[in-house]
Structure 1
C-alpha cells in the first residue's frame, strides 16, 4: 500500500517543530555559554532567516492547496503563525543580547575572506531560491567585489521599502540599519535593529543615524548621481572602488581611532532607538501592518490632553477680560439661553468606507472607528468625537455606520453629527481619521492605529459653503501632517497595464463617503443654543441644550455677583461632562428622559421651568446613581467584556428604578441612596461641587 503524501500544511508544521527545537537548543546553549558568542549569533541569524521564510510560505498557503479536506484549516494555520511569531520574538531578543557592542565584530569590519564567503553563500542561496520562484532577477543576485568597509556603516532609511522577493529586507522610514556588504549593483546587504538581514536599495539610505546630518546634501547628490548611472559607469565605479579600498587599507591605522569613536557613537544611538520601539514598530517589521498605517494621531491627543474631549468644550468660556462669559448669555425677556450664530454650523452623516486595508496576522482588531474634529490643516480646533464602525466579516474592507437596531441607537454607533465652529480660517474643514484598536495575540499589548485620513473642506475655492450632497473623499495614508502617502491597493502582480488598469486601480482606492445634509428649523434653533465650538452626535442635542440652560441659570442668575467664584452645589453640572466620554451612560439618560417625555402633556413640554425640574429628577434617579454605583465597572475603551458588563448593570438598574417609580408613583429620591439593597460608593464632596475656576475655559 503506497504511503500517503504529506499535505502542505503538515510539511510546514514539521518545519515549525524543527525550528522550535533548534530555537530551544540555541537558547539553552546561549544561557550555558556553550561555544563562542559569534557562533551563537550566526546560528540565531540563520534561524531568523529560516523562520521568516517559513512564515512567508505559511501566509501564502491556502485551503485550495490541500489535496483533501482539512478540518479547522484556518484555526490550524493561525496556530502555526502564532508559533512562528513567538519563535521570531525570542530570536529577536536573543539576537540583540548576542550582538556585539559595536560594529567591529563580523559586521562593521569584515575581512576580505569573510566578505567573499558571504558573497558566495548569498549567490548559492539566491540560485536555489530562483529555482523555486516563478521569476529571476540576475542583476539582484550578481554580487561584485565590495567597496571599502572602513567608512560609516550606520545608515537611516529615507522612505518605506517593502520587500518583493526572497532576501529583501522590508524597512520603514526613519529606521536605523547597519550595512554588512556594499555592492556596485545598488542592492546592499543590511541588518536592522531586530537582527533581520536582507538587501535594500542604496537610494533609500542616508549616511548616519539621524544625529550627524551635516553631509545630508552631499549624500543626496551622490544618490541622485547613482540613480542615473548606466552599465559603463558601474564598471568605472567598481574600478575606482578597488583603488579606494587599497588607499583605505594603507591609511587604516591612522583613522582607526576616529572610526571606532564614530561607530561607538552611532551604535549607542541604535541602542537608544531600540529601547523606544513600540508595538507598532514591531508589527510593522513583521508585516502585520499594511503600508501607510501610523500610530493614531487623534487618539494620542485624546489621551494626553483633556482639552480635546467633549466634556471640556461644553464648559463655559471666559471672555478676554476674565470677568464675564464669551459664549453664555441669557435673554432678559424669556430667561432662556440666548441664541448665538457662528461662522460654521453644518450637519453631516458618515455613510460608509470602502477598500480600507486590514491588519495582517498576529493582531486582533477590537474596534474599527472614525475619530473626527474641526481642522484647518495645521491644528485641531474642536473636540475629538469618535464614531464606531460596523462591518461584515465576509467583507472586512468595507465599513458602515448607524446600523438599524431596535430601541435607541447608541451614541457611539450614530454617524449623524453636527459641527459648530467660530473659526475664521479659510481652510476650515472636518478631519476624519480612520482607526483601529488592536491587541497583539502573542504579548497582549494594546494599541491604536490610524488606517488613513480624509479631509472635507467646508468651503469651495470662492469661499462659499459646500452644497448638501454626498461626497466621496479619498483616504490618504500616514498622518494629516504627511503628504503623498498612499495606502496599500491590492492588485494582481502581473496584471496588464493601460487605461483599464488605471480605471481598476482608481476604483479600488480607499474612500470615505460623507453626506452633508440640511437641518429642520427645530434642530437649527437647538444648535444655536449650544457652545460656539462643539462636534457631537445629533441625537443628543436636546440633552446638551438642557445642560446649557441649567448652566446659565446657575452661573448667570443664582450667583450673588458675577465676581463670585465660590463652589456651586450642583450634582448635574459637576458630573454631566463625564457622560460625553462614557456614552453608554449618556444613552441611559436619553432612554430615561424619552420615557419621561412620553408621560408629559403638551403643556408640560412647553413649560421650561417644568422641563428643567423633571430633567433634574430623571438625572438624579438614573445616571447620577449609576455614576457612583460600585457594581458598574470602570469605563475602558474597546474592551468588549467591560462594555457588556456595564450594559447589563446599566439596564438592570434602570429597570429597577423604573419599577420603583411605577410601584410608588414617584421617582427615586434621596432615600434610595440609603437603601441597603442599592449600594453606593463612599461620598465625595466633588460629586456635588461645581468649581467654576477649575472647569472654565
Structure 2
C-alpha cells in the first residue's frame, strides 16, 4: 500500500521544522563565531529571513479546500503555524542586528546609556589622580569625544540632507527586509525622506544613499519639526560665532541630538508590536488603564465616600432629612441609565498576542480631564465573529457586575463639554516573551449637551470608534486589509463606510424607583445598575454614623464599624461584590412585606449579610490577591467564594484550620478624616 500523500499544510509544517533546525544551528554557531566569518553568518541570517517570509506568504494562501483529506481544527493549526514562523522571524531580526558591523555607519543607536554612564564614572576617577594622569586621561577622553562627535555629525548630516529637500524626516523603528520588487530595505535607526504617502499604508521613501522604494508606514516614526529646525540652524550658523557662542551652539546641538537619539532608542511596546504587525497601527497604550493603576483616585471606592464642603465644617453631598431621618435626596445635572449593546467591526490583534480580556472602560469627561470614577464592563467574545463584541450575556444565575452592560451615570459638572468617554480595550499577553499589557483598540466621546446647553435626546446611539487616544490627532481605524492596489473608487468607499467600527449604546431616563435610589448616591459617580440599592443603603449607614451617632459635629474620633470601613474595598473587587449581591438578594427575598419597607430592618440585615458573607473572605489567608484578567487568580478566588463546603459560621471562623491575615485596626474602624481628605 502506497504511503498517504501529505497535504499542503502538513508539507508546510515540515518546512517550518527544517527552518527551525537551521535557525537553532545558526544561533549555536553565533556563540562560537569567529570575526572573520561574521559577514558569511550575516548572509545566512538574511537568507533565512527571506525563506521565512516566503513560507509565510505560502501559508497565507492556503485554504481548507486545498487539503486532499479533512483536517480537524484547520484554522487553529494554521494560526499556530503562523505564530511559529513569526517567532522565528523575530529571532532572526534580533540576530541580524547583533551581527551587523558596529562601525561609524552604524549610527548613534549603537551607543547605550550604560556606556555613557561608565565614561562619566571614569572621568570622575581620573580627576582624583595626579596631574600627569589627569592630563593623559583628558587626551584619551578628547579622542573618544572626537569619535563620538564624528558619529553625531555624520548622523546630523543625514537628517539635514533629508530635511533640506523640503520634506519631513522619519526614522525607522525596526529593520525591514524588502519582500517584493520595489520595496526598500531599511535598517533600524535609518533616516528616510518620504516622497509619497499612499493611503494603503505603503509609503514611497528615499534613504540617505538615494535608494528609493516602498516601506510600511508602521515601521516609521516622525522626527519633530522643532528638532529638524534646530539641527539646520546649528549647521548653518556654524563658523559665524565667537568662542562663547560656539560653546552655547555645541550645547544646543548636543541637546537636539539627544532628542533625536531618544526618538530612535526609546521605542515603547506599542511601536514594537505595531512594527511586527501584531497590532493595527491605530492601537495605543490604554489611557484609562494607566489612571486606574495610579491608586484609588479613579475607583468607585473613592467616589462613594462623602465629600467635605468648601468650609470643611460639614459634608457637601451627604445630609439628612430632619422629618424622615433618611438621606436627603440630591439632584445632579445629569442622571441617566446607559446600556452597552455591542461593538462591531473592531480590529483584532495578530497571532503573536493572546487576548486575556476585551472590555470597555467609561467615565465622565470634558475633553481634557476625567471627572468621575472609571467603570469597566467586560465584553463577551465569540471566535466565529472576531470583530463583534457583545455585553450582558443571558445567565441562569445573577449576572456578574463585570459583565453587566446596564450602567447608571451621575455627574454634576457644569462644563459645557461634559460627556461620556468610552475606551475599547484589550488586556494581552505576548506569547514569545510572556509580557502583559493593556491596549486601547479605539475610543469615542459622546457629548451630552448641544450648543444651546440642552441635554441631547436619550435614545440609541451609534458611535464611530476612533483610533489613537482622546489627547492626540485622530488615527483612522482601517478594518480592511492594507494591500497595495486596493480600489479607491466610489463603490469601494461605499463598502468601506458600511464597515466602520461602531459602538452601539442606549441612553434612557431612570424610572421613578431607580431615580429615588440614585438621588441618594454621590453627585458624581457611575457603576453597575444592579448595585444601586446596595450603594444607597451604604450611604444611609454612613449618614447614621456621621450625622446622627457622633457626639458633636466637631468630633473626629475613629468610628467602630467594620461595614463602613471595608465596604469600599469590596466595591472595588467585582467578584466579592457579586458574592455580596447574591447573599443580599437571597436574604431580602426572605423578608416579610412589612420588613421590606422598614429602613431600620433593612440596615440591620445589610450589616448582618455583609459580615457573614464577604467580610471573612476579605481577610482570609487562603484568598489570593485580585489580579485583573488573570484566569488562574480568578478561578482560585471563585472556588473559595462559591465553594459548597465553605460556610461561614462562628464555629468555622474560630476553627484552628481557618487562617486569617494579620489583624489591623483599619479592618474594623472608619477613619473620617483620612477618607474625607483622601
TM-score band (shorter)? 0.7 to 0.9
Matched, 1:342 2:332: yes
Call closer, same or farther: CA 1:578–1:620 in 2, change over 3 Å. Answer: same
Displacement of 1:201 in angstroms is 8.5
Match of 2:366 in 1: 376
Are residue 200 (structure 1) and residue 215 (structure 2) matched?
yes
**What is the TM-score when the length of structure 2 is the normalising length?**
0.79
Matches for 1:212-291 after TM superposition, within 5 Å = 212-214=227-229, 276-291=266-281
In structure 2, what is the equivalent of residue 674 of structure 1? 654
Partner of 1:431: helix, strand, or coil?
Answer: strand
Kept after mapping to 2: 8 A contact 1:209/1:269: no
Tell me how far 1:483 sits from its aligned partner: 2.9
Pair 1:264–1:47, CA change in 2 (3 A): farther
2:565–2:666: 8 Å Cα contact kept in structure 1?
yes
Distance 1:204 1:641, change over 3 A: closer
Q: Residue deviations 1:375-429, cap 9 Å, x none? A: 1111111000000111222111111111111121111111111111110111111
2:206 paired residue number: 188
The aligned counterpart of 1:62 is 63
Question: How far is the alpha carbon of 1:153 from its aligned partner?
Answer: 5.5
Structure 1 pair 183/507, CA: closer, same or farther in 2 (3 Å)?
closer
Look up the match of 1:572.
563
Which residue of structure 2 lines up, in the alignment, with residue 138 of structure 1? none
The count of corresponding residues between Structure 1 and Structure 2 is 599
1:652 and 2:643 aligned? yes
Kindly indicate whether the alpha-carbon contact (under 8 Å) linking 1:152 and 1:263 is maintained by their aligned counterparts in 2: no
1:309–1:383 Cα contact (<8 Å) kept:
yes
Distance, in Å, in 2 between the alignment partners of 1:160 and 1:47 is: 18
Question: Map of 1:289-300 to 2, 5 A cutoff?
Answer: 289-300=279-290
Question: How many angstroms does 1:314 deviate by?
Answer: 0.7
Shift in CA distance, 595/14, structure 1 to aligned 2, threshold 3 Å: closer
Q: Could you say what secondary structure the match of 1:395 adopts?
A: coil
Q: Which residue does the alignment assign to 2:323? A: 333
Q: 1:656/1:695 Cα in 2 relative to 1: closer, same or farther (>3 Å)?
A: same
Q: Determine whether 1:26 maps to 2:16.
A: no
Partner of 2:13: 13
Superposed, 1:544-623 pairs within 5 Å as 544-623=535-614
**CA shift in 2, pair 1:527/1:201, >3 Å:** closer
Q: CA deviation at 1:214?
A: 2.3
2: CA distance between counterparts of 1:433 and 1:328?
31
Mapped partners of 2:62, 2:257: distance in 1: 39
Q: Secondary structure of the equivalent of 2:27?
A: helix
1:324 aligns with 2:314: yes
1:462 CA drift (Å): 2.2
Q: Which residue matches 1:686?
A: 666
User: More displaced, 24-33 or 7-16?
Assistant: 7-16
Equivalence for 1:178 = 190
The structure-2 alpha-carbon separation of the partners of 1:163 and 1:416, relative to structure 1 and needing over 3 Å to count, comes to farther
Task: Give distance in 2, aligned partners of 1:161 and 1:26.
Answer: 19
CA RMSD of aligned residues (A): 4.0
Q: Is the 8 A contact 1:458 1:465 kept in 2?
A: yes
Which stretch has the larger CA shift, 47-56 or 262-271?
262-271
**CA–CA distance in structure 2, aligned partners of residues 202 and 548 of structure 1:** 53
CA contact (8 A) 2:172 2:189 kept: no
- Once residues 344 and 5 of structure 1 are traced to their aligned partners in structure 2, the CA distance between those partners, rounded to angstroms, is 68
Distance 1:170 1:393, change over 3 A: farther
Q: Secondary structure at the match of 1:456?
A: strand
Cα distance in 2, alignment partners of residues 90 and 159 from structure 1: 17
Query: How far does residue 291 in structure 1 lie from its aligned partner after superposition?
Result: 2.5
CA distance in 1: counterparts of 2:252 and 2:387, whole angstroms: 47
Q: Is the 8 A contact 2:219 2:275 kept in 1?
A: no
Which residue number corresponds to residue 35 of structure 2?
35
- 1:627 deviation in Å? 0.8
| 1:422 paired residue number | 412
Which one is further off, 86-95 or 679-688?
A: 86-95
DSSP-derived class of the 1:104 partner: helix
Structure 1 length normalisation: TM-score?
0.77
Q: 1:202–1:574: structure 2 CA closer, same or farther, 3 Å change rule?
A: closer
CA distance in 2, matches of 1:573, 1:164: 64
The 2-side partners of 1:313 and 1:469 are apart by: 27
Q: In structure 2, what is the equivalent of residue 87 of structure 1?
A: 88
Tell me, in whole angstroms, the C-alpha distance in 2 between the residues paired with 1:182 and 1:446. 34
Using a 3 Å threshold, how does the CA distance of structure 1 residues 3 and 333 change in structure 2: closer, same or farther?
Answer: closer
**CA 1:264–1:41 in 2, change beyond 3 Å: closer, same or farther?**
farther
Q: Show the 5 A alignment for 1:426-465.
A: 426-465=416-455
